Amino acid sequence: MQVHGVSSLVLCLFCLLHTAAAFRRVCYFTNWSRDLQQAGARFRLTDVEPFLCTHLVYAFAAVQPSNSSLAPIVTLLAEGQQEELQRYRDFNALKKVNAELRTMLSVGGSIQANKDFVQVVSSDSGRKRFAANSVMYLRTYGFDGLDIDWEYPGDQPDTKLNFTQLLRELRSSFNVDAESRGKAPLLLSVAAPVSEAQMRDGYDVPQVSSLVDFVNLMAYDFHGSWNSITSFNSPLYARAEDPRFSPELSVNWAVQAWLQKGAEAQKLVLGIAGYGQSFTLKDPSKHGVGAPTNGSGKEGRWRRMEGQLSYYEICEYITNGGTEVWDDLQRVPYVYLGDQWVGYDNPDSINDKVNFALQHSLGGVMLWALDMDDFRGAFCGKGRYPLLSAMVSAIGDKMPDVRVRLTDTVTWPHPDNVTTPAPTSPSTTTTTTTTAKQLPTSSTTKSTRSTSTTSTKSLSTTTSTVSPTTTFKKPASTQQVVVISKKNTSSAVLHLSCRLLLTLAFLVLHVLTL
C-alpha cells in the first residue's frame, strides 16, 4: 500500500510537470506579410523572435489536387516557386537558434484551398496519396508537422466524414514514417471554427481530437463590420443580458462547446487575434458597446485594410488622441476616435485569456499572426511584441528579453531599410472602466464566420523585388538574456518546488522497494 501510494504521488507530480511543459504557444507566420504595400508594415523572417513561441506555423501552402500533394503558394507573391521553397528552409533554420522550437506548415486558408480539399479527400486513394506526399514534403523542407486549415468541411455532402478519414490517413502515415526513421512522429493540428453550425456540420469532434496533436480554435471574428452595432472581435464572455448579442459569440461559449462535444481539453489551443475589428459610427457621440454603425472602419495607415486594424495601428489611434475603454463585462478593450471604433485584444485581455486557458486545463494559446503585433516596438511604447510577451508572461515562463537578438550565424532575407516612428508615449491616452452601459436600440445582423475569415487571411497582391541577403550573428556574449517579472516569480518557485518533490518521491520509492 505504501509503495502504491508513493507511486501514485510520483505519477501525479509527473503529470503536473508534463502539463506545465506541454502548454503551447503557437504563432502563425504569414508568407505574404513581407510583400505588403507599406514598407513599415512588412514582416520578415529577421523579425521573428524564435524563443517567444513553442510552435511556429508557416501560412500557407496550397493543395494540389492533380497529384494530391502540397505545393507552395506563388501566384500572388513576387518570388517564384524556388524562392518560396528556399523561404521554407530559411524558416526552419530558426531551429538552429532555438533547438526546442517546432515548426509546422499550414495548408489551406483560402476559398480555392477549400475546393481543392474537397477533391483530394473524395476518394480513399486521394487521401492516401496526400498523406504519403505530405510526409515527403514536410521532411524534405525540414518541417516538424502539418496544420490543416480547411475552412470548412461540411459545406458539401460527405466532407465531414472524408475530413476525419484524411486525418486518420495522415496520422497513420506520420506514425509509419516515424518508425522507419527512428524519429518522433510529425505533428498534426487543425485550425478549427467556433460556430455551432460549422462544428456540427464539419467536425466529428471526438474523432478529430483523438487523431490530432492539437486543435487551434479560431476564437475571433465573432463580430465585425457585417454587424449593425459596435461589438467585440473576440470577447471572453457573452453579453448575456443584452438580447442583441448572441450568447454563442464568445470565447467562453466556444471552448465549452468543444469540450461538451468531446474534445480533450489538453488538445485545445485557444486562438487570440493580433488585430481588431473596426466600425464607422453613425453618430460619434454614441460610442459605447452596441452603438449604431455605418459599415466598416477606415483602413489603417500601414496595412491598408478596411474594417480591420493590426494592434500597432490601434496603438497609433490611441497615441493620436483615441480613448481606450476597458469593458469589464466581456473582458476586452475598445478604442474610439472621431467616428471610428475598434474592438480588439491588448496585453490585459490576453492575460485574462491565458488564465482562462490555464484554468480550463487547455493545451495552449495561439496568436494569429506575428506581423500584427507591434513586432518592432515602434508604436505601443511597450517594447517589441507586447501581445506575445503578455502571453508568455501570463503563462509564467521565463521570458527572453526581446531587445537582444540571439541568433546563430544564419542567412536570412534582408529586410527593407525602413524608418519607423519612435516609441510612443501613452500620456495622451484616457483609460476608463465600464460595465454594462445604456445601449441604443438597434438590431444585430449575424454574419457567417467564413465571410470574416476570408478577409482576415486574404493574401496581398502587392509585388516587390527579391531582396539581397545578409548574415546575422550572435552578440559577443553567448549568455541568453532572460528576465522574470515579479508576477512570474511564484510560478517559477512552484515549478522548482514540484521538481524537488518529484525527485524526493523517486528517492522514497527507491528506498521502499529495496
Tell me which residues are annotated as active site.
151
Q: Which class for 245: exposed (0-12), middle (13-18), buried (19 or more C-beta within 10 A)? A: buried
Pairwise CA distance, residues 500 & 488, whole Å: 19
CB 280, CB 298: distance < 8 Å? yes
Ramachandran quadrant class, 109 (left: phi over 0; alpha: psi -120 to 50; beta: rest) = left
> What CA–CA distance (Å, rounded) separates 150 from 116?
10
Geometric angle at alpha carbon 211, from 207 and 212, rounded to 5°: 120
Kind of pairing, strands 102-108 and 55-64? Answer: parallel
Give the whole-angstrom CA distance, residue 162 versus residue 376: 43
Burial status of residue 401 (CB atoms within 10 A of its CB: 0-12, 13-18, 19 or more):
middle
Helices (H) and strands (E) in the chain, counts: 13, 20
Q: Which three cell numbers, joined as nine digits, stand for 483?
A: 528576465
Only one residue has cell 538552429, namely 96
Q: What is the DSSP letter of 229?
A: B
CA angle centred on 354, ends 225 and 184, rounded to 5°: 105
Query: Are 188 and 98 within 8 A, CB to CB?
Result: no
Q: In a 3-state reduction of DSSP, which class is residue 187? A: strand
Using alpha carbons only, what angle is made at residue 221 by residues 315 and 197, rounded to the nearest 5 degrees?
A: 170
DSSP state of 292: B
